[in-house]
Structures are given as structure tokens and as C-alpha cells.
Amino acid sequence: MIYLKEKGAYVFISLFLSLLVCGCNSESKKTQPIENEFQILEKNYLNSLNTIKTQLDSMAMSSNKNDIESLYLKARKEFKWIEPILAFVDSENYKFLNQPNILKIEEEDLTDVKILDPTGFQVLEEHIFSDDFNIQTVTKHAKLTSNRINFIKNNTNFNFLKNHHILWMLRDQIIRTSLTGITGFDSPTENSLEEAQYSYKSLIAILELFKNQFSDESLLSEWKTELNTSISNLKSDFVSFNRYHFTKTHTTNALSLWKQTVTDWKITFPFKKAINYETASLFSDKTFNMNYFSNEKVDSISQEKVELGEMLFYEKALSKNNSISCATCHQAEKYFTDGKKISTGVTRNSPTLLYAALQQSFFYDNRAGSLEGQIVEVVNNANEFHTDLKHLETTVKSNKTYTNAFSKLYNEGITQDNVRNAIATYIRSLTPFNSKFDKNMNGLENTLTTSEINGYNIFNGKGKCATCHFPPLFNGTVPVAYKESEMELIGVPKTNDTIHAEINDDLGRYMVFKTTQRKHFFKTPTVRNIEKTAPYMHNGVFNTLEEVIDFYNRGGGNGLGFNLELQTLPEDKLNLSKQEVTDLIAFMKTLTDSIY
């Protein structure tokens, strides 16, 4: 410290330093850069996270149920507002915060099995709006959720974002809203439609923030009109909402505008995702990127490879005793099933191969991770081909027709990998998307009856079918990332006896890693072509769709009295009327493809 005895000198120095500091501050203000769109987006995002955390912390300190309900709804509203951003920039934490109140099991191998208790918004919602309200449980989950929000906030950095990321997050939210957001998938209290409005309002705010990217200002105006119209359409009650109209009209319109925006912004994407950029339809044979669902490189599904794979599919010489082929259990005239309760030589029902390529795991217990891997299992199984991959290669090499075809289509000619790939290529071609429902969704027909449309709305609404069978594939592969094919415990009975019901002996996924909490878990199959693929369930216990719906209408296995602690299917009765059951079946029959 410098001490100046003379008062005048002290005043002079003080004044000088003050001016210097003011000058620096003034200069700092002059040169401070203007925030760009991404910085503003990040600031708004962080503000929302702070708001959510404040509500959660207040919940954790409150003991009044009404106050907690109000605080939760405010936090959830803000969560849905940032959903388009959070789900894109931090997908794992988004899933953590939005996971269902179901025990989570992660099985990498026999030495790496994780059993995780769920927490987050859905867990809070179930406990808060329950008749069995427990303040300690609510406080615990409010604190856990708040801690995760704080972690996300402290690790947020939008420096990596570019314009194409903004378009990705817009499209993801449009698709998410249509396929899961309006179905009750993540809203136990069926507040889905109001929450979808918050997310769509967020999309309008994002587009407005990036308005300078539009060369065509009228395109931005069209966006706002479409999204505002969608929001108005979402102002309906959960049961009566016309989901068919929303998806066919508003989702398709929004995806069409998205495609135009890609051109307007002059965007080139660095890689493809599960759903192709070129399509505005979610119900088309051009919708999905087949490479995304394969461990192998799917360069193209050429007709010649498909024809070669089809020949091998019917080739009985690939089995040890020349007795069976792939087609033995997957017959085209039976929509690639065999019509039996249990297929010959195995312990489970034969699932259809139609749309089998558009999932991430295979067999009822998800033990194979690719079509090519599934073929290995069948070849090695003593009750099926009962041979090995070397036999496949040798057999194919001994056939001149095959030798010539492989030489033409594969650089390496006949190898074990290429034989499997050819068969898998044929299976990948079995994704026609030409059912009555697809044609109506794509505007090629206008032939759906009122009953069929009502059935689709029940499937995606009151019936809760779409919370496990996600359109447009109607299987368990979860939109919009399509990284996981879900498994469920629904409590399938041994026989179709509702009075003396017993759970089926098959332990499903448990047999893969012996994880106790996985007993009776099975993969969610596709509902497409269900009219043609009876009998149903992994053990073929149900012969008709009426029987299947009756099982779900009762609340699954627990509705039959099984007392399964980990049943993932809600045990509450659906209370579907006779007419609603009729409509639901009418809709499912519209998913039958014309495959000949």
C-alpha cells in the first residue's frame, strides 16, 4: 500500500484510479460481444433448470400435499418446456429424469449386472398423486431429482452446437410428441396432451430465436401457424383426443416443413439417424435407415442380394440332416410364422420375421444383438439346424449356383459372414409398410372406417397399447433414439383359464444371465400383421385377438391374481367396453400387409 501524506496528492491519485477503473469498465462494455443464438439458448435452458430445481427443493421442504402437487406441476411444466433441448443435448440424463417407476436392470454380461431403483418425474408423479401418499418417499425422490438437475446444470455446455443440431432437436421433438408424447407413455396421470403443448410452445420459441437463419421468412411464418394449430388441437381430453388426425395431419405437416427448412438453411448432416431425413411420413418403407438397426454395414438392399438370401432361406441343406430350413418355422403364407403354439424343436412360439430387422435385439429373451447373430444361434441349436457355421460355408461352396452368385455380389465370395449376411439381407427386405393403415396415413387411400380410426385412438390412448408397442413399428423399440428394444413382464398364463390361472413356466430373460429380477420378462413383439400370426404370446396361449385384449383388460397376470411384484404392465383394469374392444381389433387388422 502506498501512503501519500499530502492531501491534494491523495485526492489526485484517487481520482485518477477512479477514472482508470471507470474507463476500463466503459471499454469493457464497448467491447463485450453480443450473445449469439446458442448462448441465449443455453442461458434460457439454465434458467429453466434453476426453476425446476427451485420447485423440487420447495417440494422437499413441504409437508402439504396440495402444495406439493402444485409445485410438482410447475416443475414438470418447465421440464416439458426444455424437453426438446434436454433430450437432445443430454439424452442419458433426460432418460434418468423421465424413467418409469419400474426397477431398471442393466445386463452387460454375467459379471456386470446393475439393478437400479428408479427416480425422477414419473416416480414422483405416481407417489404424489397416489391415494397412498407418503411424505418421506416424496421428499426422498424430490431431493434425488433436484440433485440430478443440479448435476446437469453444472455440466451444461452448448459450445458444440451448430445449426444442424437445432434441426435435429426440432425433428426429434415432433416425432417424440407423436409417437410417445400423446400416448401417456411418460405421464402416469394422463396429463400428456397438456405437456405436449408446453413442448410445442418451446419449439416455437427455438424457431423464433433462430429466425435469422431463415432465408425464406414465409417458411418461419408457416412453422408458427402449424405449431400453433397443433397446440390448439392438443387442447382435448386424453380419452377422446383424435390421435389419428394429429399424426396424419400435424406431424406430417411439421416434418414437411422441417424438410423445407433443411434446404432453406442449407444444412448438410454429418451422419444419418434412425429415421431418414428425406421422408415426412412415419409410415413408409422409406422411413427407416436400415443401417442404424444393423451391426453390419448395410450398403444397399439390392434385389440380387435379396434373391440370393431368399434361396438360402429355403435351403434345407444348411441343416445337419437336410431336414429343415429357415422357412420351416417362418412360412411366407403364414406371414413368416408357422401357426403353431410352440414351434417344432424349440420351446417358444415362432414370431413373424416381418419388420424383424427394425429392432435392436432378437429372440423373445433378447439374447442376440443382430440378425446375423440370431442366425448363429439357430445354426448351433441342437434342436434346429444342429450344425455350425463351417458347415454352412462348405454346403454353399458345393453349389455352383450359389458360388456364381456370391462371386458376383461379394468381393470375398463365399464366407461364413457373407452367407449369414445374405440371409439377413432377405429378412431386411421384409418391411413392406403397405397395409391399409399405412396407405391411409400416407394419403394413398381414404378407406379407414370410423371404427378403425377409433381403434387407433384407443390403441394410443385409453388402451395404453402404444406405451409398449410404439407406432409406426408397433413393437418395443423405443422412439426416437431407437437404441433399445424393451422387455416387459406382463404375466402370461400357462393356459387360457382365467379361473384357475397359473403363470407360464418359461422364465424368459432370466435364463440368459440368471438375474432374479428378470424372471418372466419377454421382448415386446410387433403388432403389425397380428391378424395373420395367431396363436399369440411366447407360449401361444391365446388363439384370438379377443382373448389377448381380455387378458390386458383384466390387468395382465396380476389381474389374474399372480401377485407379480415387478409386473411392468399396470394391473388396473382398462375397462374397455365391448364396442371399444371391437374398434381396437378393427384397427389392428388394418396393419395387415399385402405381401404377395
Nearest one of 90, 94, 95, 114 to 104, comparing CA atoms: 114
Residue with the three cell numbers 401361444: 540
The cell for 44 is: 434460457
pLDDT for residue 2: 38
* Identity of residue 250: H
Domain of 259, in residue numbers: 38-278
Same domain, 225 and 250: yes
* Shared domain check, 192 and 68: yes
Burial pattern 201-231, b for ≥16 Cβ within 10 A else e, equals ebbbebbebbeebbeeeebbebbeebbeebb
- Cell, residue 341: 403354439
User: Residue 16: inside a domain, yes or no?
Assistant: no
User: If residue 372 lies in a helix (H) or strand (E), which one and from where to where?
Assistant: helix 371-380
Contact 537, 492 (CB under 8 A): yes
Query: What are the distances in angstroms from CA 231 to CA 78, 160, 193, 208, 317?
Result: 17, 31, 9, 16, 59
pLDDT given for residue 111 in this prediction: 85
Give the predicted TM-score (pTM) of the model.
Answer: 0.92
CA distance 312 to 308: 7
Nearest to 86 by CA among 195, 185, 188, 202: 202
Q: Give yes or no: residues 494 and 554 share one domain.
A: yes
| Whole-number pLDDT of residue 595 | 82
Determine how many CB atoms are found less than 10 A away from the CB of residue 323: 12
Helices (H) and strands (E) in the chain, counts: 24, 4
Residues 312 and 380 in one domain: yes
Q: What is the CATH number of the domain that holds 64?
A: 1.20.1420.20
Pair (393, 409) in one structural domain: yes
Spell out a b/e string for 324-355, using b for 16 or more CB atoms within 10 Å of the CB, else e.
bbbbbbbebebbbbbbebebeeeebbbbbbbb
* Three-state DSSP string of 178-241: HHHHCCCCCCCCCCHHHHHHHHHHHHHHHHHHCHHHCCCHHHHHHHHHHHHHHHHHCCCCCCCC
Please check whether residues 298 and 220 belong to one and the same domain. no
Find residue 362's DSSP bridge partners. Answer: 368
Specify the DSSP class assigned to residue 521: B
Could you tell me if 141 and 190 lie in one domain? yes
**20 assigned to some structural domain:** no
Same domain, 146 and 164: yes
Burial class (CB in 10 A: 0-12, 13-18, 19+), 575: exposed
CB 89 within 8 A of CB 503: no
The CA-based dihedral angle spanning residues 496, 501, 505, 509, taken in that order and rounded to the nearest 10 degrees: 90
Residue 382 and residue 354 share a domain: yes
Whether residues 249 and 139 share a domain: the answer is yes
| β-bridge pairing 487-488 and 522-523 | antiparallel
Q: Output the pLDDT for position 178.
A: 98
CATH number for the domain harbouring residue 384: 1.10.760.10
Q: Which residues 6+ apart lie within 8 Å of 411 measured at CB?
A: none
Residues 317 and 459 occupy one common structural domain: no
Running DSSP on this structure, what letter comes out for residue 384? Answer: T
Last residue of a domain, one of 278, 313, 330: 278
Q: Of 7, 456, 422, nearest to 245 (Cα)?
A: 456
Neighbours of 299 (CB within 10 A): 9
In tens digits, what is the pLDDT along the chain, a chain of 596 residues? 333 333 444 433 344 334 344 444 444 444 556 789 999 999 999 999 999 999 999 999 999 999 999 999 999 999 999 999 999 999 999 999 999 999 999 998 888 999 999 999 999 999 999 999 999 999 999 999 999 999 999 999 999 999 999 999 999 999 999 999 999 999 999 999 999 999 999 999 999 999 999 999 999 999 999 999 999 999 999 999 999 999 999 999 999 999 999 999 999 999 999 999 999 999 999 999 999 998 766 666 789 999 999 999 999 999 999 999 999 999 999 999 999 999 988 999 999 999 999 999 999 999 999 999 999 999 999 999 999 999 999 999 999 999 999 999 999 999 999 999 999 999 999 999 999 999 999 999 999 999 999 999 999 999 999 999 999 999 999 999 999 999 999 999 999 999 999 999 999 999 999 999 999 999 999 999 999 999 999 999 999 999 999 999 999 999 999 999 999 999 899 999 999 999 999 999 999 999 86
Domain shared by 351 and 484, yes or no? no
Is residue 28 in a domain? no
> Domain ends where: 428, 454, 472?
428
Strand partners, 337: 331
* Three-point CA angle 359, 433, 479, nearest 5°: 40
Boundary-marking domain end, from 377, 412, 428: 428
Residue 548: is the preceding peptide bond cis (ω within 30°)?
no
Backbone angles phi, psi at 288, to 5 degrees: -100, 145
Residue 223 lies in a domain: yes
Query: Does residue 14 lie within any of the structural domains?
Result: no
Residue 444 within a domain: yes
Domain-embedded: residue 56: yes
Q: Residue 427 in contact with residue 434, Cβ under 8 Å?
A: no
The reply to whether 284 falls in a domain is: no
The CB density around residue 300, as the number of other CB atoms within 10 Å, is 9
**Of 489, 479, 584, 477, residue with least CA distance to 538:** 489
Tally the domains of the chain: 3
